Structure formats: C-alpha cells, structure tokens
Amino acid sequence: MKLSFVIPCYNEEDNIDKLRDEFFPIIEKLIGSRLPDGEQIDSVEVVFVDDGSKDNTYMVLKNAFGALNHPAISVKFEKHEVNRGLGAALKTGFRAITGDVIITTDSDGTYHFSTIPELLRHITKDVAIVTASPYHPKGDVVGVPPFRIFLSRGSSLLYRLLLDWRIHTYTALFRAYRREVIDQIPFAANDFLGQTELMVKAMLKGYKVDEFPAALHRRMFGVSKAKLIRTIQSHLTFQGRLVLHRLHIHSMFAE
C-alpha cells in the first residue's frame, strides 16, 4: 500500500529544516512496516501545499526536497498564489494524493513527527479516521497559550455534546484517513473549520473514528496562523447547522 502525507504550509520557511531533520527520517523508517491488520507500506508520497506564503516557503521547500532521490519516497509541490486558508490547502493536497492511507500534519511539528508510527497503529481495517487527541485523558498540552486551548477545548466539547462524547478532540489537523473518506466525504470550509467538517461529516455517514492520545506542543518558530474570531464564528455556525440536522432527524422519527 501507499501512504500519502498532505502538509499545508503558510510562511513556514523557518520550519523547513525541522521537516528535513525530523520528518523525513521518520517516513524513511515507515517503508516496509505494517499497519495493525498486516497491510505493508511499500511507498510514501509527500504533498506540500504552499498556501500563498508571503515569505520564501515555496522555494525553500523545493530547494530542500525537490532533488530527493529515494526509490520509495516521492515529493510533490502545490502552490496557491494567494492565501486561501487551511481547508482550501487540504482540498488541493487531497486532489494531488494517490495513496491508500492519507496523513495530514502541521508543518511546524506541534504534534511531534516521531509519533507518526503510533498514530498509524490505530488505523485498523474497521477504522476510517484516526485523530490526534490532546484532550483525551491520556493526552497532553505542552506550552500552548491557555486562551488558545480554552477556545479549542471548548469547541471540541460542543462537538462531543452534539455527536459522540467518546471522541475528545475534533479540531486537530494531525490525522490519518482511509482513502475512501477523502473520496466520499466532501467538505465546504476553506478555513480552519475544514478538518473538523470533514471528520464530522464522515462520522454522520457512519465512518468509525479512533483517537490517538497525543501531546500538542507550542510552535518553536513563527506564529500560529489561526484567525481566532473568524475560526470561532465558523465553528459556531457549523455547530448551529448540526443542531438543526439533529432536530430534523428527531422530528422524522417522531412522526
């Protein structure tokens, strides 16, 4: 099987050394390893999506990885001319991938790249999505500003009430997906709501989600790209639609 990575980047030139030194040694070690049900990883592709960076992210990425010569690892570069948002970057990356299992991850390593093998150990044949979960009882948050955690944890709490209490984190980008989810579940949001919308809609269609208790770390370089007020508004609007959807389903069964 082929494993694909989609890595959105926006003004991340200072983090590219981290990708080279910490990410690529991990994916090299994945070649030949197996998922829990015996599926062997024969090749890996990495799709970088530069989401309209204003610095030299795109050229630094190409200089660092464009000449990579590995028989089982391929690298693709996608570029938005203007910043379109995280959800839009994911859509571009998903159109470019060819793998059977897809991992999305932050380029800054806020979820340590060394935990990728552990993430994959959760993707059994009956699991369609594995999401990193710092808010799981066994998860952790290290050095992230408290107000950001308050907003993210609060948003996940509302999704837990609306969908599935057993899932603790709905907002993480660090995830693994079966290809079927990417092919069958469309999502509309172009902003930071995108990855949440994708997982929520997959859950509503009956796809099974498992959690990987993970540690979320603060960024070492640069600043978070989340536009907090707009992100909060997007989540609240989407959660309002979920409430209406639940009410509609309830009324159908009540008739």
Per-residue pLDDT reduced to its tens digit, 103-149: 999 998 899 999 999 999 999 999 999 999 999 999 999 988 888 78
Q: Report the predicted TM-score, pTM, of the whole model to 2 decimal places.
A: 0.91
**How far, in Å, CA of 190 to CA of 88, rounded?**
4
Query: Do residues 86 and 172 lie in contact, with contact meaning Cβ atoms separated by under 8 Å?
Result: no
Helix axes 146-162, 228-254, angle to 10 degrees: 10
Ordered structural domains, the chain, with CATH = 2-254 (3.90.550.10)
* DSSP structure string for 29-89: HHTT-B-TTS-B--EEEEEEEEES-SSSHHHHHHHHHTT--BTTEEEEEEEESS---HHHH
Instruction: Please give the structure tokens belonging to residue 176.
Output: 């693994």
- In the chain, the amino acid numbered 124 is T
- In the chain, the amino acid numbered 223 is V
pLDDT tens, residue by residue, 187-226: 999 999 999 999 999 999 999 999 999 999 986 444 455 5
Q: Which of 151, 178, 177, 157 is nearest to 169 (CA)?
A: 157
Helix axes 194-204, 86-96, angle to 10 degrees: 60
- In the chain, the amino acid numbered 15 is N
